[in-house]
C-alpha cells in the first residue's frame, strides 16, 4: 500500500497516515512540506467523508458506529496542522484554522458532544471575569479527566496484550481459535469519545487564542495602511477574493453538519432569494405576485406615470396569466381533499350508527314473525289432532273387514 498515491488510498489508510503526521508535528517541529502534505491528506479525507455520507445532521453520537467516530476529528486535526504552517501572510492561516475549528465545534454541537456550560458561554458575547474563570477551571478539569481516561485505557490494553502474548507462548493456539478483536467494543468507543472530548477542550482554547491573534494582526495591518500604504492595492483585492472564497467553501462544508433551515415552498420567493432580492430569514405568505415583463429599470421600480405603464406593457404575453401559483393550487387541492375526507368519515359514522340503532328493531320484527309462524303451526297441529279424534283409524272401510 506504500506505493499507492493519495487518490488511490482508502479512507482508513489515508486518515492513519495523516494522523501520524499530525502527531509528529504536535510532539516536535516538522518540516513545512510534511505539514502541508498532512493538510492535503486531511482535506482529501474531508472530501471522501462528504462523498461517502458517513454523517448526517439528524444523527447523534449514539447513532454513529465506533469505526466512524474517529473521522469526527478530521476538522480539528486539519485546523491544528493549518495553524502550524509558516508563511508571510499570517492572517490568512489564522482565519483558515479558526474556520475549521468553528466547523468542528458546530459539528460536535449537532452531535450533542459539547457540554451545556460551553454552549451557554458561546451564546453569550461576554461574561463576568469570575464566570470566565470558573468556566476555564471546569474545562481544565474535563481535559485532565479525558487525558487520564485515555492513559488508563492505553495501560489496560498493554496489560491485556502482555497477558495474551504470555498465554499464547505457554499454550499453543490452534488455527482459527484465536480471538478476533472487536472494533466496535465498548473500550474502543470509550477511548474515541474521550479523544473527542479532549479535542473539544483544546479547540475552545485554541479558538480564543486565534481570535486574539487575528485581532492583533488586523490592528497591525490597519495601522500600516494608515501610515501610507495603499488600501486598494493588489494585495488588498487578493485578500478580499480569498476571504470570499474561504467563506463560500466553509459555508458549503458547514451545511453538511448544521441543522436544516425551513424549506422554501414558493418558487417565486426562491427565485428572489437566489437573485438577492430577499433573504431566507424573511417570511413569505405564498401570495402570487403579478409578473411584469419589460426593462429591468421599469420592472424594479413603481409604475408611476402613464409612459412607464405603456413601456411595461410592451413585452406582455398574449395569453392570460395564471391567477395563482403552483403552491396556492396545491394548497387549495389539499383543502378540498381534507373536506372530502371529513365528509366521507362523517357519512360512514352516520351509516354505522344507523345500522347499529336499527338492529334491535329488525331483531324484534324477526322475533314477531317467528312467533306468528310458530302460533300458526300450533293451531294447524291442534286441528289435525281434533280431526284424528273424530276420525279414528279404519273408520269408513267396513267393506274390507272379514265380518263386514
Convert the pLDDT of each residue in 179-214 to its tens digit. Answer: 444 444 788 888 888 888 888 888 888 888 888 888
Beta strands in 90-148 (DSSP E): none
Region 362-382: what's the mean pLDDT?
78
Average pLDDT value for the chain: 75
**52, 256 contact by CB (below 8 A):** no
Give residue 195's pLDDT. Answer: 87
Residue 254 has pLDDT above 70, yes or no: no
Give residue 336's pLDDT. Answer: 92
C-alpha span between 137 and 147 (Å, rounded): 15
Give residue 342's pLDDT. Answer: 92
Region 216-220: what's the mean pLDDT?
84
* pLDDT level of residue 363 (50, 70, 90 thresholds): low
Residue 226 has pLDDT above 50, yes or no: yes
Helix (H) or strand (E) holding 270: helix 267-274
- Residue ranges of alpha helices (H) inside 8-73 are 11-27, 32-52, 66-69
Convert the pLDDT of each residue in 32-71 to its tens digit. Answer: 888 888 888 888 888 888 888 888 777 777 888 888 888 8
Which residues, including other chains, have CB under 8 Å from residue 204's CB and lie 6 or more apart?
A: 105, 118, 139
Residue 308 has pLDDT above 60, yes or no: yes
Give residue 191's pLDDT. Answer: 87
CB atoms within 10 A of CB 321: 9
Residue 399 has pLDDT above 70, yes or no: no
Give residue 126's pLDDT. Answer: 66
Region 233-249: what's the mean pLDDT?
72
Query: Smallest Cα–Cα separation from 113: which of 210, 201, 211?
Result: 201
Give residue 352's pLDDT. Answer: 75
% helix / strand / coil in the chain, to the nearest 5?
Answer: 70, 0, 30
Give residue 10's pLDDT. Answer: 84
User: Higher confidence at residue 3 or residue 186?
Assistant: 186
Residue 265 has pLDDT above 60, yes or no: no
Which residues, including other chains, have CB under 8 Å from residue 313's CB and lie 6 or more apart?
A: 294
Convert the pLDDT of each residue in 158-186 to its tens digit. Answer: 888 788 777 777 765 554 444 444 444 78
Query: For the whole model, what pTM was predicted?
Result: 0.51
**25, 59 contact by CB (below 8 A):** no
**146, 125 contact by CB (below 8 A):** no
**CA atoms within a 13 Å half-sphere pointing along the CA-CB vector of 152:** 10
Query: Smallest Cα–Cα separation from 254: which of 45, 57, 40?
Result: 57
Q: How far is CA 395 from CA 33, 44, 135, 401, in A?
A: 137, 121, 125, 11
Region 315-330: what's the mean pLDDT?
77
Give residue 249's pLDDT. Answer: 73
Residue 296 has pLDDT above 80, yes or no: no
Give residue 15's pLDDT. Answer: 87
**360, 320 contact by CB (below 8 A):** no
Q: How far is CA 269 from the centre of its chain?
A: 24
Convert the pLDDT of each residue in 276-290 to its tens digit. Answer: 666 655 555 555 454
User: Higher confidence at residue 323 or residue 214?
Assistant: 214
Region 91-105: what's the mean pLDDT?
87
Region 244-263: what's the mean pLDDT?
64
Q: Look up residue 212 and give its three cell numbers.
A: 486574539
CB atoms within 10 A of CB 17: 18
Amino acid at each position: 500500500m506504500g506505493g499507492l498515491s493519495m487518490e488511490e488510498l482508502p479512507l482508513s489508510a489515508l486518515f492513519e497516515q495523516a494522523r501520524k503526521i499530525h502527531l509528529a508535528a504536535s510532539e516536535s517541529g516538522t518540516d513545512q512540506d510534511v505539514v502541508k502534505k498532512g493538510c492535503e491528506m486531511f482535506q482529501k479525507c474531508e472530501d471522501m467523508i462528504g462523498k461517502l455520507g458517513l454523517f448526517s445532521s439528524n444523527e447523534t453520537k449514539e447513532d454513529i458506529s465506533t469505526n466512524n467516530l474517529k473521522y469526527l476529528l478530521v476538522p480539528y486535526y486539519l485546523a491544528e496542522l493549518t495553524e502550524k504552517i509558516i508563511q508571510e501572510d499570517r492572517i490568512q492561516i489564522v482565519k483558515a484554522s479558526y474556520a475549521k475549528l468553528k466547523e468542528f465545534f458546530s459539528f460536535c454541537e449537532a452531535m450533542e458532544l459539547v457540554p451545556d456550560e460551553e454552549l451557554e458561554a458561546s451564546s453569550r458575547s461576554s461574561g463576568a471575569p469570575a464566570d470566565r474563570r470558573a468556566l476555564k477551571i471546569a474545562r481544565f478539569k474535563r481535559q485532565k479527566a479525558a487525558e487520564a481516561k485515555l492513559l488508563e485505557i492505553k495501560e489496560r490494553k498493554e496489560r491485556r496484550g502482555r497477558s495474551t502474548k504470555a498465554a499464547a507462548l505457554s499454550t499453543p493456539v490452534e488455527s482459527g481459535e484465536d480471538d478476533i478483536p472487536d472494533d466496535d467494543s465498548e473500550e474502543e468507543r470509550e477511548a474515541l469519545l474521550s479523544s473527542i472530548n479532549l479535542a473539544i477542550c483544546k479547540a475552545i482554547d485554541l479558538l480564543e487564542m486565534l481570535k486574539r491573534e487575528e485581532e492583533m494582526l488586523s490592528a497591525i495591518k490597519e495601522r500600516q495602511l494608515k501610515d501610507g500604504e495603499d488600501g486598494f492595492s493588489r494585495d488588498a483585492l487578493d485578500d478580499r477574493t480569498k476571504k470570499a472564497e474561504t467563506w463560500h467553501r466553509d459555508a458549503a462544508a458547514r451545511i453538511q453538519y448544521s441543522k436544516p433551515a425551513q424549506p422554501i415552498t414558493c418558487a417565486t420567493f426562491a427565485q428572489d432569494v437566489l437573485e438577492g432580492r430577499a433573504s431566507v430569514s424573511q417570511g413569505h405568505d405564498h401570495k402570487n405576485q403579478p409578473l411584469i415583463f419589460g426593462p429591468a429599470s421599469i420592472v424594479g421600480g413603481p409604475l408611476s406615470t402613464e409612459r412607464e405603464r405603456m413601456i411595461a406593457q410592451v413585452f406582455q404575453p398574449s395569453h392570460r396569466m395564471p391567477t395563482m401559483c403552483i403552491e396556492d393550487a396545491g394548497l387549495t387541492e389539499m383543502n378540498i381533499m381534507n373536506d372530502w375526507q371529513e365528509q366521507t368519515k362523517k357519512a360512514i359514522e352516520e351509516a354505522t350508527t344507523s345500522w347499529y340503532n336499527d338492529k334491535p328493531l329488525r331483531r324484534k320484527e324477526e322475533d314477531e314473525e317467528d312467533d306468528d309462524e310458530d302460533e300458526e303451526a300450533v293451531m294447524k297441529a291442534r286441528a289435525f289432532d281434533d280431526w284424528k279424534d273424530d276420525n279414528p283409524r279404519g273408520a269408513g272401510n267396513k267393506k274390507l273387514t272379514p265380518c263386514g
